[in-house]
Amino acid sequence: MRKTIILLLIGILHTMAGFSQGSIRLTLNDALKLAQEQSLQTFLNKHYYMADYWAYRSFKADLLPSVSLRATPLAYSNASQLRYNSEDRVDEFIRTENLRSDLNLNVSQKIAATGGTFSMQSELGRIENYGNNEYTQYSSRPFTINYQQALFGFNAMKWQRKIEPLLFEKAKKEYLESTEKMHLTTIRYFFGLVSAAIQMEIAQTNMENTEKLLKVAHSRFELGTVSREELLDLRLSNNNAQIDLQQAGLNYREAKENLLNFLMLPIDVELETEIPENTPVIEVDIQLVLQKALENNPEILQLDQNILESQRNVEQANRARHFQADINVSYGVSKDDGNYLQSGELKTVYTPEFENYQQLSLGINIPILDWGRRKGQYEMAKSYHEIAQVSGRQSLQQFKQNAVTRAIAFNIQKSRVESAALSDTLANESYELTMIRFSTGQADVLRLTSSQNAKDNARYRYINALADYWTNYYTLRQLTLFDFENKSNIEFDEEEILKK
C-alpha cells in the first residue's frame, strides 16, 4: 500500500513537472476532469461526506449489541475506615489493609421499538485482607439479566431510525450536488480565461489594424482624401488599442492564475484553451427535468427532514407533559466464598449451589406544578411543526417553478449560440470589407470604427452565449443529478470515494 502511494505521488510530481516545463492545450472536458481529480473542492467534498458517513456508521453501530469489559486488576488500601462494632453497638475507626480485584463483562442491546435496553453481565470479585485476620474472599455473579425501560416516555431511538437514514441519503446527494457546483465553478474560470484570451486577441488585432490604417490615412491625408480630424481619430484609436492590449494582458494573466490555482496546477504553466464549439444536448424534456429534480435533489429530502424533526419535537414535548416512569428489572445468580475466619477458593464461587439475585426498581416522575412551562414547550413545538409544513409546501412549489424555468431557459440556449455564431461571422466579414473600402477611400473613419465595434461585440456575445449554454446545462445537472447527454442518473460511487 505504501509503495503504491509513493509511486502515485511520484507520478503526480512528474506530471506537474511536465506541466511547468511548457504549455498544455486545455479543453473544457479536460478542465472538468482535472477539477474532479485534484482540486481543493474535491478534497473538501470528500471529507464533508466522510463526516456524514461515519456519523451514520456510528448510528448503525449503536443499534447492534455492544460488549464491554471493565476490570480493576489491583486496588490496594491501607487506611483507617469507619466500621460498626455490633458487640459494643458503636461506630469506630479500624485500620484495614487489603488488596482488591474485580472483573465485569457486559453485553447490552438497545431495543429500538420500545426504547429500552436489555443487558447481561458476569462479575467476579476478589479481596485479600492483611493484618491479624488474614483471609481471601471471592464473590461471583455468573450471570445477571437486566432490562431498563422508560414507561410512557419519549422514545428517541424510534425517531433516529426514521431520520438518520434520511440524513445519510441526503449526504450522498449533497456530495453529487457539490460536485456539480464544482463543475460550474470550473466552467466560470474556464470561460473567464477564454474570454480574456479573446479580449487579448482582439486587442492585438485591433492595434495591428489601426497601425496599418494609420499609414494608409497618412498617405490619403497627403492626397487630401482624409481630413485632419479623421487622421486624429485614427491616431486616437491606435493609442486606445495599445492601452486596451496592455489591460487585456493583465486580465489574461489574472484569469489564467485563477484557473491554474483552482485546478491545482503549477502557476508557470502556459495554457491554451480550446473553445468548445459543440453543444451535445440541444433540448431537454421539461417534465423529465421536473421529475428528476423531485427524485434526486437533496433539497426535497431536506424538506422531509424538517417535517420529521418537527414531528419528533412535538411528541417529545407532549411526552414531557405527562406521567412518566422508569422500570429496572434484574435477575441472576451469585455466590460468595470466604470470610474473616476462613479463606475461600475461586472454583467454589462457580459451583452450585448459587443464590438468586433479584432486583426491581420503579421510579416515577409526576409533573405537579411548573407554571405552564411544559405546556408552553408543547404548544411552541406544535407551532413550529405547522410552520415547517406550510413552509415545506411553499418551498416545494418554488422548487418546481425553478426547475421548469431552468429547463425553459436551457432550451433556448442552442438557438442563442447559433445566432451569436452567425453574428460573429457576419460582423467579421463586414469589418474586413470595411477595411478594404477605407483603404480605397470608399468608407470614412466613423464607418470603420462602427464596424470594428460591431465585430468585437459580436465575438464577445458568441463567447458569452457558449458560457451561458454550459452554465445552464450544468445548472440543470446540479438541480436534477441527471446526465442528459447519457440519459441516466448521476450515480454515487461510495467505494470510489472511500479508496481515494
- Greater confidence (125 vs 451) lies with 125
Tens-place pLDDT, residues 75-88: 888 888 887 777 77
Co-location of 124 and 203 in the same domain: no
Give domain status of residue 150, yes or no.
Answer: yes
**406: closest CA among 301, 296, 285?**
285
Same domain, 128 and 190: no
3-class DSSP assignment, residue 23: strand
pLDDT tens by residue, 413-435: 888 988 988 988 898 888 788 87
- Provide the pLDDT for residue 341: 72
Same domain, 225 and 343: no
Residue 346 lies in a domain: yes
Cell numbers placing 225? 482624401
Question: How many domains would you assign to the chain?
Answer: 2
SS3 content of the chain, % helix, strand, coil (to 5): 60, 20, 15
- Same domain for 274 and 329, yes or no, is no
| Residues contacting residue 372 through CB under 8 Å, at least 6 positions apart | none
For the segment 108-122, the average pLDDT, to the nearest whole number, is 90
- pLDDT number for residue 360: 66
Asked if 183 and 245 sit in the same domain, the reply is: yes
The reply to whether 347 and 332 lie within a common domain is: yes
For residues 353 and 432, state if they share a domain: no
Q: Does some domain include residue 382?
A: no
Same domain for 165 and 140: no
For 218, half-sphere exposure in the C-beta direction (CA atoms, 13 angstrom radius) is 6
Mean pLDDT of the chain: 84
> Does residue 493 lie within any of the structural domains?
yes
- What CATH number should be reported for the domain holding residue 48? 1.20.1600.10
Tell me the per-residue pLDDT of 459-497, one tens digit each, with 9 for 90 and over.
889 999 999 999 999 999 999 999 999 999 999 988 888
Q: d(Cα 296, Cα 175) in Å, to the nearest integer?
A: 12
Predicted local confidence at residue 9, as pLDDT: 35
Query: Strand 116-130 vs strand 90-111: parallel, antiparallel, or unpaired?
Result: antiparallel
81 with 141, same domain: the answer is: yes
In a shared domain, residues 167 and 147: no
| Residues 299, 407 within the same domain | yes
Q: Is residue 29 part of a domain?
A: no
The answer to whether residues 286 and 167 belong to one domain is: yes
The amino acid that residue 321 corresponds to is R
pTM: 0.81
User: Which residue range(s) make up the domain with 350?
Assistant: 70-111+116-154+325-366
Q: Give the pLDDT of residue 302.
A: 94
Cβ-proximal residues to 203 (8 Å cutoff; 6+ apart), any chain = 241, 244, 245, 247, 248
- Which amino acid is residue 12, in one-letter code? I
Query: Does residue 22 sit within a domain?
Result: no
- Checking if the pLDDT of 330 tops 80, the result is yes
Residue 434 counted as domain residue: yes
- Contact predicate 333/357, CB 8 Å: yes
Burial class (CB in 10 A: 0-12, 13-18, 19+), 461: middle
- Is residue 213 a part of any domain in this protein? yes
Total length of the chain: 500
Q: Could you tell me what percent of the chain has a pLDDT over 70?
A: 88
CA distance linking residue 200 with residue 194, whole number of Å: 10
Predicted confidence at residue 487, as pLDDT, reads 92
